[in-house]
Amino acid sequence: MRNVILLRFGELFLKGDNRHIFESMLISNIKTKLSSYDFKFEKTFGRYVISDYQASLEDDIVGELKKVFGLYSLSLAKEVDADRDAIEGIVRTIDCEGKSFKVSVKRADKRFSIPSMEFAKILGGVVLDNYKTASVDLYNPQIEIKVDIRLNGKAYIYVDEIKCQGGLPLGSAGKGLLLLSGGIDSPVAGYLIAKRGLRLEALHFHSYPYTSVEAKEKVLSLAEKLCEYVDNIKLHIISFTQVQEEIHKRCRPEYMITIMRRIMMRVASRLCDKYDLGCIITGESLGQVASQTMQSMAVTGAMANRPVFRPCIAMDKEEIMKIARDIATYDISILPYEDCCTVFLPKNPVIKPVASKVEKEEGYLNIEALVNDCLEKEEMVEIVKPKQ
């Protein structure tokens, strides 16, 4: 008998002939996530097994595995040979005194001669013989004893299934550029799109001295927190001060936000060209603010030369905040250091911009020079998840 961590993947079951590609990525990501630990990794059909790790580090290892995209769930299990006596011996050790219980058996290996339902009844009898005050409850048990008999000739006995991230393996969908502000929404958008297999680089615009150094540090902290899920992020930092000053000086104030976001999209597109990134990701949620109406997003998105993904588009603020709390970005995002979108904020921004009118206002600017100036001032910081 040995203690193991039994891993299950989810959506990969839906893949066809290219499933092995997704599995290879998932296995590589698991090993990367656990690179600070000593362990043994084994693969059996439909399951992965982590073993030979230091018992005192089990909670830390589980914490890392729970952040691997593509894993559906895991269990702390006892592994024994797929032998009736060995399995019964482990079941006897599970304390069901004074509790209701249920036994579930999965028999992937049909060489094990006892059918699943019959073996579950046998094991239920073992529990009742050992714990006189235990009772059977097939619908709402306090304890569910699960026995998973696999094709590798082993059986895994466990009680709890711990939920993991699900989704697709990181990197299986390519790489994109996240527009990362200091707010609540954009880190959530990054997390959600990474869950669909997209690796991230990030772009942050700052407007020093109108925004503080602390605002920039806040974004670095958000990127570090995202690295708990995506391992590393290249953060491209662009000074946007001159752009905002020029718009404020030469354009009608109600078009400030629209023109600003269109220039951001142009800059992001150029960075995607430079670093071979396949899409742009934003934290926009339909109707949340003036710049996130359907018309505004159409006018700003038209400046992108890549698909623009908006994972939060149909979420309300409470849903976004819940995810932010779950991934521990919320407390950082609400720190009182404002980003560049609050600079020169107009009293009455246009909420349904018309492209021709926006283009007329942009005619007062040297857009190409402003974009080039932004790119010339690019600063890049590589953020890596800290080693345990």
Domains in the chain with CATH codes: 2-163 (3.30.2130.30), 175-384 (3.40.50.620)
pLDDT surpassing 90 at residue 227: yes
pLDDT at 214: 87
User: Average pLDDT for residues 205-214, to the nearest whole number?
Assistant: 85
User: Mean pLDDT across the stretch 352-364?
Assistant: 96
In this model, does residue 340 exceed pLDDT 80?
no
Q: At residue 343, does pLDDT exceed 80?
A: no
Which of 44-48, 266-270, 332-336 has maximum average pLDDT?
A: 266-270
Q: Which residues contact 385 (CB under 8 A, 6 or more apart)?
A: 224, 227, 228, 231, 232
pLDDT of residue 213: 85
The whole-angstrom distance between residue 384's C-alpha and the CA centroid of its chain comes to 16
Q: Which of 183, 341, 197 is nearest to 260 (CA)?
A: 341
Lowest-confidence region among 200-214, 253-267, 307-321: 200-214
List, for residues 119-166, the tens digit of each pLDDT value.
999 999 999 999 999 999 999 999 999 999 999 999 999 999 999 999
| pLDDT score at 388 | 58
Q: How many CB atoms lie within 10 A of CB 129?
A: 10
Which of 57-71, 90-104, 171-185, 373-387 has the lowest average pLDDT? 373-387
Residue 72 has pLDDT above 80, yes or no: yes
If you average pLDDT over every residue of the chain, what do you get?
Answer: 94
Mean pLDDT computed over 87-97: 97
Is the pLDDT assigned to residue 187 strictly greater than 70? Answer: yes
Residues forming a β-bridge with 193: none
What mean pLDDT is predicted for residues 34-52?
A: 94
Q: Report the amino acid identity of residue 117.
A: M
Looking at residue 44, its pLDDT comes to 87
Give the confidence band of 278 by pLDDT, cuts at 50, 70, 90. very high
Please report the DSSP string for 131-176 in residue order. -TT-EE-SSS-SEEEEEEE-TTSEEEEES--EE---S--TTTT-EE
The rounded percent of the chain whose pLDDT value lies above 90 is 86
What share of the chain in percent tops pLDDT 70?
97
Helix (H, G, I), strand (E, B) or coil at 354: coil
Predicted pLDDT of residue 16? 75
Is residue 62's pLDDT more than 80? yes
Provide the pLDDT for residue 336: 82
Predicted local distance difference test score (pLDDT) of residue 348: 86
pLDDT in tens, 164-178: 999 999 999 999 999
Contact 280, 176 (CB under 8 A): yes
